[in-house]
Amino acid sequence: MKNQAAGSSSDRIVVAATRMAQAHGYGGLNIRDLAQDVGIKAASIYHHFASKADLAAAVAKRYWEDSAAVLEALATESADPLVSLRRYPETFRKSLESDNRMCLSSFMAAEYDDLPEGVKKEVQAFADVNVAWLEKNLREAKIVDAQRARQRACAIYAAVAGAQLMARGRADIALFDTLMDSYRQAGLLPG
């Protein structure tokens, strides 16, 4: 029973820390505010995570694992990789729909020089997961040849993440949609 409670507390901490990091980044991940949000004492957070860096690494790891599962589900929902590629921007739009938050990885990547090594590793994993998924679907949809699939995947990832950043900075989700339409018209994203 105690392990279930500990897991539940850890999960609540990670969920709340994710929301906080999506709004304020690693630098804005405040343990006192987090504890208040979760309804526990700040010292209790250190019972589950030895340091802020360990907490942030756990948050970033859970984030990319959850994102990988979302991408896999997106591919599974449709046997057509072209349909999956068309729906890819939705995965970033959802953060904007949630109180104008931003992809956690994008936020933390902006703070990259100030991140502890363990957090950097998990932030890089998010980008790697996205690029690999895009590359695989681009090859399967026969949009580009195998030699150019990675380059195109990186361009799509950067463009979608950048559009999210612009939309968040203006608190204008319609801007994100407009940019996705322009990427489709330009041929970067499948139409």
Are residues 164 and 102 in contact, defined by beta-carbon separation less than 8 angstroms?
yes
Residue at 149 is within a domain: yes
Q: Residue 134 belongs to a domain with what CATH number? A: 1.10.357.10
Structure tokens at 65: 């694992």
How far, in Å, are 11, 16, 42, 88, 107 from residue 38 at the CA level? 10, 7, 10, 32, 22
Containing 114, the helix (H) or strand (E) segment is none
Residue at 127 is within a domain: yes
Residue at 88 is within a domain: yes
Angle at 3 between CA 15 and CA 21, to 5 degrees: 15
pLDDT one-digit tens code per residue, 64-111: 999 999 999 999 998 899 999 999 999 999 989 988 787 887 878 888
Rounded mean pLDDT of 58-68? 94
Portion of the chain with pLDDT greater than 70, in percent: 96
Rounded mean pLDDT of 15-36? 92
State residue 7's pLDDT score: 56
At residue 108, what is the residue type? Answer: M
Residue at 68 is within a domain: yes
Residue at 140 is within a domain: yes
**What is the count of structural domains for the chain?**
1
Q: Which of 2-6, 61-65, 119-123, 178-182 is predicted least confidently?
A: 2-6
Structure tokens at 177: 């949609």
pLDDT one-digit tens code per residue, 100-152: 787 887 878 888 999 999 999 999 999 999 999 999 999 999 999 999 999 99
* Domain carrying residue 108: 52-186
